[in-house]
Structure 1
Amino acid sequence: MTARTADRTVYLRSHPVLFTLLAATRRRPVLRLGRTVLVHHPEAYREVLTRVPLDRTAGHTTGGAAARLAGGGLLFDQSGPEHRDARRELTTLLGSGGVAALRPLWQRILTEELSGPLRSRPVDLVPVVRRLAGTTAAGLTGSTADPTALALAAEHAAAATARAHLPSLLPRRGDDRRARLAADRLAELLPDPRDAMLAVAAVNTTLAALPRAAAWCARAERWEQARTDPGALAAELLRLTAASPVLPRAAAADAAVLGHRIRRGDRLLLVARHAAEAHRDTPAGDPALATRAPFGLGRHSCPGASLARAQLADLLGALAPHRPRVLRTAADPHSALPAYRRCLLGR
């Protein structure tokens, strides 16, 4: 099984209805289904995120979910000067200085969990990355909670929220109640809603990205590049795996995208996976756009992109001397983002 085929199964097993729909419509740059607009083409994706006004508090969007769960006032649902100030603060926290301060925390975990153990036995990468993600989230928020408990609470909150706003064949009763309970459990560890949402974003993208990228590297036998140029390989693998494959948004005003009419109030499903051309070994369009697309664009880009690339580069560098093979993987059908429940690597 190729690396791409193996990774594609993660999407289909995590959210089968959504990703079957996206795969079937991939060749349509922009497609309207009632009041929902699917945006696949890289240029259409760029236009929406850089030119179309977006409603940051609409239902079934990331900002709307944040507002319902935490009462609003968060980066995801802010607008205007408040949003710019929050982004500036977060960009500083996750910038080069912040990454340098956090790096020793996750490098110690990689040394403890991988360097010795991989010499003698297989290692399940998922709990290793969960500990790494929880430790990073604790470092970002100043929390003294157990890192693994913090990561699990952030996972459960994200999964419950995702079930409440992603498409499904049948109605799902109780989703809002489950999302609220999961948010309350996270609030016990992180009472500040901003810290809670930062942890949710950091933990879930890390768990979706790192094990899948490492498995791809092993299946494609890219360990030599992981040893010599882990940074470039990390950027490529984050494009190929697209940890946040769909960005749910809503239009705040009428607009036109590649000649297609967008109406105020339309629900927009921005397919970051296709904008990144993750289905191609080499992007056919703008390589820089493809690399940035999984993290959004412009003022709607993710401030944590540098952190994600640094963590993955260090993980690949820690694994490269062992050149492990993928022994077994299992997709997590309950995760908010396409992720592994188990990723067993060994020699």
Structure 2
Amino acid sequence: MTARSADRTVYLRSHPVLFALLAATRRRPVLRLGRTVLVHHPEAYREILTRVPLDRTAEHTTGGTAARLTGGGLLFDQTGAEHRDSRRELAVRLGSDGVAALRPHWQQVLDRLESDLAAGPVDLVPAVRRLAGATAAALTGSTADPVALALAAERAAATTARTHLPALLPRPGAERRARRAAAQLTALLPDPRDAMLAVAAVNTTLAALPRAAAWCARAGLWEQARTDAPALAAELLRLTAASPVLPRAAAADATVLGHRLRRGDRLLLVARHAAEAHRDTPTGDPALAAQAPFGLGRHACPGAALARAQLADLLTTLAPHHPHVRHTAAHPRSALPSYRRCLLSHRPEPQ
């Protein structure tokens, strides 16, 4: 099985309805389904995120759903100067100096992972969960156990996602479970407004790092990881597109690639296709493809540099062992396409 086909099974098994919808509509640059607009084309994706006014707290958006479940007041759930100040502050915390200050928190986890891998097979998912939790705790000032914080952030994201992603059947009680999970997460944070930050830091890390490492192993890229881990990390984040869809809402009428958007339209921005993750090499703008999984312009995720640094360090840790993938299993209830188990071994499997 190729690295690409193996990674595709994560979508098929963890988010089958979403994957089927994206696959069926991929060749339509912009497609309207009632008041929902699917956006696949990279240029349309760029235009919307850089030119079209968006409502961050509208119904069915990530921010809107999270605000409804927590009573509002979350980081980035502000307007005007307050919102701009929050983004500037976080940009500093996640800039080069901020990432350098955070690195010791995850490096301890990687040191332990390397020791465990030298001794035998290891499941990468629990290690990455601890890494993500330790990073989130450092970012938010939480004194909670890193694994407990990560698990709470996972539950909050998973239950929230199920209130606004497509499903085959109704989900009775989904709203109640989402509220309970949100309350459990905020109880672990000194400032409840940091719930969105914790959710993003944990879930994107869990979706990205194990899948990228498995792709690297299956494609035999460990020598590249040894010589240029940062460049490989950036490319693997494009290929795996941890956040495949960005749910947003139009705050004003607009026209994109000849398609009319109306104020209040629900927008499903397919970051996976804007990044051309289905291609080995982007056919369009490579800079756009590399950045697309993290959004663009003023709507870009400020944690992009953090994600690239963490993955580069993970690849650097694993590369000397040239690990092989022994087993992977998709997580059927995760908010983002993720592994529930990713077993690596420093020795090849017997033939």
Class of the TM-score when normalised by the shorter of the 2 chains: over 0.9
Deviation at 1:142, TM superposition (A): 1.2
Query: Any unmatched runs of 5+ in structure 1?
Result: none
Which residue of structure 2 lines up, in the alignment, with residue 196 of structure 1? 195
2:343 is paired with a residue whose SS is: strand
1:279 is paired with a residue whose SS is: coil
Counterpart amino acid of residue 71 in structure 1: G
Which residue of structure 2 lines up, in the alignment, with residue 90 of structure 1? 90
Which residue of structure 2 lines up, in the alignment, with residue 255 of structure 1? 254
Q: Distance in 1 between matches of 2:118 and 2:146?
A: 26
Q: Distance in 1 between matches of 2:81 and 2:219?
A: 45
Which residue of structure 2 lines up, in the alignment, with residue 328 of structure 1? 327
Larger displacement relative to structure 2 (306-315 or 68-77):
68-77
1:268 is paired with a residue whose SS is: strand
| Kept in 1: contact 2:74–2:194 (CA 8 A) | no
| Kept in 2: contact 1:66–1:76 (CA 8 A) | no
Which residue of structure 2 lines up, in the alignment, with residue 48 of structure 1? 48
Superimposed CA distance per residue, residues 299-322 of structure 1 (whole angstroms, 9 cap, x where no aligned partner): 000000000000000000000000
| Kept in 2: contact 1:56–1:78 (CA 8 A) | no
Query: Any unmatched runs of 5+ in structure 2?
Result: none
Listed as ranges, the matches of 1:1-347 within 5 Å are: 1-114=1-114, 116-346=115-345, 347=347
Q: Distance in 1 between matches of 2:34 and 2:57?
A: 21
Superimposed CA distance per residue, residues 67-114 of structure 1 (whole angstroms, 9 cap, x where no aligned partner): 112222333433322221110011011111110011011112101122
Counterpart amino acid of residue 7 in structure 2: D
1:64 is paired with a residue whose SS is: helix
Superimposed CA distance per residue, residues 302-346 of structure 1 (whole angstroms, 9 cap, x where no aligned partner): 000000000000000000000000000000010000000000000
Q: Distance in 1 between matches of 2:306 and 2:271?
A: 19
1:48 is paired with a residue whose SS is: helix
Q: Output the TM-score relative to the length of structure 1.
A: 0.98
| Kept in 2: contact 1:329–1:343 (CA 8 A) | yes
The 1:160–1:191 alpha-carbon spacing in structure 2 relative to 1, beyond 3 Å, is farther
Over 3 Å off, 4+ runs: none
| Kept in 2: contact 1:2–1:220 (CA 8 A) | yes
Superimposed CA distance per residue, residues 153-199 of structure 1 (whole angstroms, 9 cap, x where no aligned partner): 00000000000111112221111100000011112211522222211
Deviation at 1:272, TM superposition (A): 0.2
Counterpart amino acid of residue 111 in structure 2: T
1:329 is paired with a residue whose SS is: strand
Q: Output the TM-score relative to the length of structure 2.
A: 0.97
Larger displacement relative to structure 2 (230-239 or 180-189):
180-189
Counterpart amino acid of residue 2 in structure 1: T
1:165 is paired with a residue whose SS is: coil
Q: Distance in 2 between matches of 1:41 and 1:333?
A: 28
Q: Distance in 1 between matches of 2:292 and 2:333?
A: 25
| Kept in 1: contact 2:132–2:206 (CA 8 A) | yes
| Kept in 1: contact 2:75–2:194 (CA 8 A) | no
Q: Distance in 1 between matches of 2:186 and 2:290?
A: 34
| Kept in 1: contact 2:76–2:87 (CA 8 A) | no
Superimposed CA distance per residue, residues 254-275 of structure 1 (whole angstroms, 9 cap, x where no aligned partner): 1001000101111000000000
Q: Distance in 1 between matches of 2:286 and 2:75?
A: 28
2:187 is paired with a residue whose SS is: helix
| Kept in 2: contact 1:133–1:202 (CA 8 A) | yes
Larger displacement relative to structure 2 (14-23 or 183-192):
183-192
Superimposed CA distance per residue, residues 246-301 of structure 1 (whole angstroms, 9 cap, x where no aligned partner): 00001111100100010111100000000000000000000000000000000000
Larger displacement relative to structure 2 (164-173 or 24-33):
164-173
Counterpart amino acid of residue 90 in structure 2: L
| Kept in 1: contact 2:55–2:250 (CA 8 A) | yes
Larger displacement relative to structure 2 (57-66 or 22-31):
57-66
